[in-house]
Chains A and B, each alone.
Chain A
Amino acid sequence: MNIVVLVKLVPDLVEELEIDSSGATLDTTFMRMIINEPDEHALEQAIILKEREGGEVTVLGPAIEDIDGVLFTAFAKGSDRLIKLVDGFELEVNNHALARAFTSVIRELNPDLVLTGVQAHNDLDGSLGPLVAEYLGMSYVGYVSGVTSSGDKLTVRKEYPGGLIGEMEVAIPAVLGIQSAEQPPRYVAISKVRQAMKTATIDEQTLTELDPSGGPTVSQMFQPQVGERAEMIEGDIDQIAAKLVELFGDLGVV
């Protein structure tokens, strides 16, 4: 199976997010970008499928900050081909523009399956998967946590709220939004990543333009407001414990 994995980079929350002086974008002075966590699961799922059923995995990402490190790590984990989209990317690019950019490259690759993380914490204009599926004219299933293939059909497990899991058949080619891979993303030793840096090549695909239309225009960003709903319980340990028991009783928890 010919699988394409889409990765995007999102602000790393190890640094507190700050709003810049314009008030409408994030301050990028200390911002670092990190691979979107569900995208790591999409990559893991792709490699699991390849190991189980054969095929080739191509990883595609925008040329932002440390994309090379992300791609080489993906290679060390077992993917076959690395492509980065060059030029025009700001750190914060909207998903409409990113999806259109990915689409033009994906068409050339003619995949059976496109996997990406089901969501990212900076999705201001919807998640990437459905947009890509729409532009490609493929089916889309999101919140997927398991994929098996048989011929030209896939069986996918989709998670619903309340612990429900639906199993459904999907005709390929299709785009899947991965919630979690069948197994946690694997560890790859640094020596293998360093080896990948020496042996793997990253193909560069140059973009002519980025089209963000359809996405929102941000006019103002706000830090979350501090609420005043917390009740601080005072007293020694016994008094606090007694008060907690009373409160839990009132709330019907115990």
Chain B
Amino acid sequence: MTGPMALDTSKEFLNQLITATPDGERIRLCLQCGACSGACPFGFVMKFPPHGMIAALRAGMLDTLVDTDTSWMCVSCYACTQVCPAKIPVTAGLTTRIKEEMLLAGNVPSELQDALEKAQRYDNPLGESPRKRAEWASGFEPEIPIMAKAKRPVDVLWFVGDYPSYHAGVIPSTKAMAKILQALDVDFGILGPEEVSDGDSVRLAGESGLFEMLAEKNAKAFDKYEFNEIITTDPHAFNAIKNEYPNLEISYPVRHYTQFLAERLDQLEKLMKKSIEATVAFHDPCYLGRVNGIFEEPRQLLQAIPGVELVEMAHQRENSLCCGGGGGGMWLDGFQWEKAEVRISEWRVREAISAVGTDENGTRILAVACPYEPPRFEDATKTVPGAAGLIVKDIVELIAEAMGLEG
């Protein structure tokens, strides 16, 4: 579509962005400085990187934007939002909305379509049986309380999440978390098969309808039971329940496990008797750090582990570099590789190697606090030269090991 009509639809869309997003009116302030596109890890591949999207909308090119598949390179990492001098809500108010339009127009890479269809049918993007969501906990000693069976109020409802429930590379950290909670005598329960995907990543991939459907299912389960707060190991679940569910009138107090455990540091320090002699770099997950401002707690936990020497990577805290799994990136690996011929996770592993050094005699660890990361970074250690000895572990696994709870 070209001509005056195209200008009208673009203007209408732009007006929607301006009026319907909190702080959306800031889009008017964009002076095309391009900082967002420079900070974007995949800005160099996108035909319309964030500032280009605004320029295109002003020029009446919504249709062109919607037809351009390179906008699927956006990993919703908030680097653009963080760096914008005009404080434009770039991720929430622009890139996510463009993805929604692309999705409605049927411009969806097949890998992503597959994950969305699975999330729709099985309540998890991995396409696993919803009935087996708590299978990781079967045979666990002592037993993990599942709310429907426990039939009692608990202090803490542990929202386990998709990858921690199903992914073989993430389940070890789920089990470590369970052992730590038990060792700390936390009165907790899980929802088991009543839990569904938190939906944050399908939302960021433009599937807001599916996000709402999943949120409503979780809300139904939350509503059935009595608990004081929700904790989770997944920054996306944390972000969704904290910042997005309230928009759907689903409001529960929620904390990421790093906050929950940092509060119990005194107790943990007494229990962490085993030393882990290692140089450790911590990767700030986008939706823990940059989006929700939690930078200190993960570092406090790592520093409390005997023997750990914590080092920082070039990109850290609010400038952290995404693992590449956000905004649908978890399900666009092939697509993004075809476009960029690099993986952000490989860049990040290179940074980790620079930070922890190349001494193969010492133990070198890349510590993470998000379930998307172990599979992505572990894969990257296999392809990045010199990274073969780098161990990728969630902070909970390191804590459990120091507490002598591993295995």
Residues on A lying within 8 angstroms of B by beta carbon are: 14-15, 30, 34, 184, 186-194
Select the stretch in B40-48, B102-110, B142-150, B258-266 that faces chain A: B102-110
Bound together, the chains give a CA A186 to CA B106 distance in angstroms of 7
Nearest B residue (CB) for A15: B129
Nearest B residue (CB) for A30: B131
Bound together, the chains give a CA A190 to CA B127 distance in angstroms of 17
Of the candidates B108, B122, B208, which one forms a contact with A14 in the assembled complex, judged by CB atoms under 8 Å apart?
Answer: B122
Is there an interface contact between B127 and A187, defined as CB atoms closer than 8 Å? no
- List 6 contacting pairs A-B, 8 Å CB cutoff, sorted by A: A187-B116, A189-B104, A189-B207, A190-B120, A190-B207, A191-B208
Is there an interface contact between B104 and A34, defined as CB atoms closer than 8 Å? no
Q: Does B55 contact A (CB under 8 A)?
A: no
Bound together, the chains give a CA A193 to CA B209 distance in angstroms of 9
Is there an interface contact between A187 and B131, defined as CB atoms closer than 8 Å? no
Is there an interface contact between A14 and B104, defined as CB atoms closer than 8 Å? no
Taken residue by residue from 270 to 309, chain B's Cβ proximity to chain A (1 for < 8 Å, 0 otherwise) reads as 0000000000000000000000000000000000000000
User: Known contacts A14-B122, A191-B104, A192-B209; can you find 14 more A-B pairs with CB under 8 A?
Assistant: A14-B129, A15-B129, A15-B131, A187-B108, A188-B106, A189-B104, A189-B207, A190-B209, A190-B210, A190-B212, A190-B213, A191-B209, A193-B209, A194-B209
Bound together, the chains give a CA A192 to CA B3 distance in angstroms of 28
B106 contacts across to A, CB distance below 8 A: 186-188
Is there an interface contact between B131 and A184, defined as CB atoms closer than 8 Å? no
Taken residue by residue from 93 to 135, chain B's Cβ proximity to chain A (1 for < 8 Å, 0 otherwise) reads as 0000000000110101010010011001110000111010000
Q: How far is the CB of B214 from chain A (nearest CB, A)?
A: 10
B122 contacts across to A, CB distance below 8 A: 14
Nearest B residue (CB) for A188: B106
Is there an interface contact between A189 and B117, defined as CB atoms closer than 8 Å? no
A193 contacts across to B, CB distance below 8 A: 209
Nearest B residue (CB) for A66: B121
Bound together, the chains give a CA A194 to CA B128 distance in angstroms of 24
Q: How far is the CB of B172 from chain A (nearest CB, A)?
A: 24
Of the candidates B113, B128, B129, B213, which one forms a contact with A187 in the assembled complex, judged by CB atoms under 8 Å apart?
Answer: B113
Bound together, the chains give a CA A30 to CA B193 distance in angstroms of 13
- Tell me the chain B residues, 61-114 only, with Cβ under 8 Å from chain A: 103-104, 106, 108, 110, 113
Bound together, the chains give a CA A191 to CA B105 distance in angstroms of 12
Bound together, the chains give a CA A105 to CA B277 distance in angstroms of 74
Q: Tally B residues with Cβ within 8 Å of A.
A: 21
Is there an interface contact between A189 and B103, defined as CB atoms closer than 8 Å? yes
Q: How far is the CB of A6 from chain B (nearest CB, A)?
A: 21
Residues on B lying within 8 angstroms of A by beta carbon are: 103-104, 106, 108, 110, 113, 116-117, 120-122, 127-129, 131, 207-210, 212-213
B213 contacts across to A, CB distance below 8 A: 190
B121 contacts across to A, CB distance below 8 A: 34
Bound together, the chains give a CA A173 to CA B120 distance in angstroms of 36
Bound together, the chains give a CA A187 to CA B120 distance in angstroms of 11
Bound together, the chains give a CA A191 to CA B210 distance in angstroms of 8
Bound together, the chains give a CA A34 to CA B117 distance in angstroms of 12
A188 contacts across to B, CB distance below 8 A: 106
Is there an interface contact between A14 and B209, defined as CB atoms closer than 8 Å? no
Bound together, the chains give a CA A30 to CA B132 distance in angstroms of 11
Q: How far is the CB of B69 from chain A (nearest CB, A)?
A: 13
Is there an interface contact between A14 and B128, defined as CB atoms closer than 8 Å? yes
Of the candidates B129, B131, B209, which one forms a contact with A189 in the assembled complex, judged by CB atoms under 8 Å apart?
Answer: B209
Q: How far is the CB of B105 from chain A (nearest CB, A)?
A: 9
A15 contacts across to B, CB distance below 8 A: 129, 131
Please give me the 7 A-B residue pairs with the lowest Cβ-Cβ distance, nearest first: A190-B209, A191-B209, A187-B113, A190-B210, A187-B108, A14-B129, A189-B104
Q: How far is the CB of B366 from chain A (nearest CB, A)?
A: 25
With contacts A14-B122, A184-B110, A187-B117 known, is A192 near B127, CB below 8 A?
A: no
Q: How far is the CB of A194 from chain B (nearest CB, A)?
A: 6
Bound together, the chains give a CA A190 to CA B120 distance in angstroms of 8
Bound together, the chains give a CA A184 to CA B110 distance in angstroms of 8
Bound together, the chains give a CA A190 to CA B108 distance in angstroms of 14
A189 contacts across to B, CB distance below 8 A: 103-104, 207, 209-210
Is there an interface contact between B209 and A187, defined as CB atoms closer than 8 Å? no
Q: How far is the CB of B99 from chain A (nearest CB, A)?
A: 11
Q: How far is the CB of A75 from chain B (nearest CB, A)?
A: 15
Q: How far is the CB of B248 from chain A (nearest CB, A)?
A: 14
Bound together, the chains give a CA A192 to CA B208 distance in angstroms of 11
Nearest B residue (CB) for A34: B121
A186 contacts across to B, CB distance below 8 A: 106
With contacts A187-B108, A190-B207 known, is A14 near B127, CB below 8 A?
A: yes
Bound together, the chains give a CA A190 to CA B116 distance in angstroms of 10
Nearest B residue (CB) for A193: B209
A187 contacts across to B, CB distance below 8 A: 103, 106, 108, 113, 116-117
Bound together, the chains give a CA A34 to CA B106 distance in angstroms of 22
Q: How far is the CB of B127 from chain A (nearest CB, A)?
A: 7
Bound together, the chains give a CA A194 to CA B116 distance in angstroms of 15
B117 contacts across to A, CB distance below 8 A: 187
